[in-house]
Amino acid sequence: MTIAMRRVIHWKIITAVLALCGIADGVYLTIIHYDTGALVCSVGNCHAVQTSSYSKIGPLPVAVLGLAMYLTIGAISLVRWRRPDLTSTLTTVSFAIVLAAAVYSAYLTYLELNVIHAICQWCVLSALLTLGILISEGYGFYNQLG
């Protein structure tokens, strides 16, 4: 295995692992959106964030949107693993999705700090996971441009 191959596999694995963590976080955030009794929050004020008017887009909880994003990135990781010939297209799609998610995450973090005046540790974790996937996918996207 060449150094270049190891490097290529490396960022794909990082994305897949971060997406798996994101799925777990997204499932938990979705559960506590509907059942705040299940909320465990040792840092910040998750209750205020989870019940704020910004926790939904219309009828859709933001937690579900995040979960869908992580599931999509996870699925892309899986397909990319099984179908290397589609890597280029899938990496472009994955990069675009996670870039959108990162921009939206930054906006949500701004709301937590400046509008809601409360921080939710699980939301911060999600923002950090999204940033990690953005860096990983950005690296892969940049590399495939040659």
Partner 1 sequence: MSNPSDRESRKNRRIVRKESAQRQAKRRRQFTVIGAISVALIVALALIIIPQLGGSGFGTIQVANASAAGLPSNGNVLGDPNAPVKVVEFGNYQCPYCGIFARQVQSQLITDYVKTGKASFEFRDFAFGGQESSDAAAASQCANDQGKFWQMHDTLYLNQHGENQGAFTRARLKEIAQSVGLDMSKFNQCLDSDAHAKDVQNSSNAAINAGAAGTPTFEVDGKIISYNGYGSLQAAINAALGQ
Secondary structure (DSSP) of 27-54: HHHHHHHH-GGG---SSB-HHHHHTSGG
Which residue's CB is nearer to partner 1, number 43 or number 57? 57
| 47 sits near partner 1 (criterion: CB under 8 A) | yes
Q: How would you label 99-108 residue by residue, b for 16+ Cβ within 10 Å and e otherwise?
A: bebbebbeeb
Stretch that binds partner 1, among 14-22, 23-31, 74-82, 99-107 (CB under 8 A): 99-107
Stretch that binds partner 1, among 5-13, 22-30, 55-63, 75-83 (CB under 8 A): 55-63
Q: Phi/psi of residue 57, each to 5°?
A: -115, 105
Look up residue 94 and give its amino acid.
S
**Among positions 92, 109, 121, 135, the unique one binding partner 1 when judged by CB under 8 A:** 92
**Among positions 16, 18, 23, 49, the unique one binding partner 1 when judged by CB under 8 A:** 49
Collapse the DSSP code of 25 into the 3-class scheme (helix H, G, I; strand E, B; otherwise coil) and give the result.
helix
* Token representation of residue 18: 């971060």
**Among positions 84, 86, 117, 143, the unique one binding partner 1 when judged by CB under 8 A:** 117
Which residue's CB is nearer to partner 1, number 6 or number 58? 58
- Dist CA 104 CA 98 (whole Å): 10
Indicate if the alpha-carbon torsion angle 98, 132, 122, 111 is positive or negative.
Answer: negative
| 43 sits near partner 1 (criterion: CB under 8 A) | no
| 96 sits near partner 1 (criterion: CB under 8 A) | yes
List of residues contacting partner 1 (CB under 8 A): 45, 47-49, 51-54, 56-58, 65, 92, 95-97, 99-101, 103-104, 107, 115-118, 141, 145-146
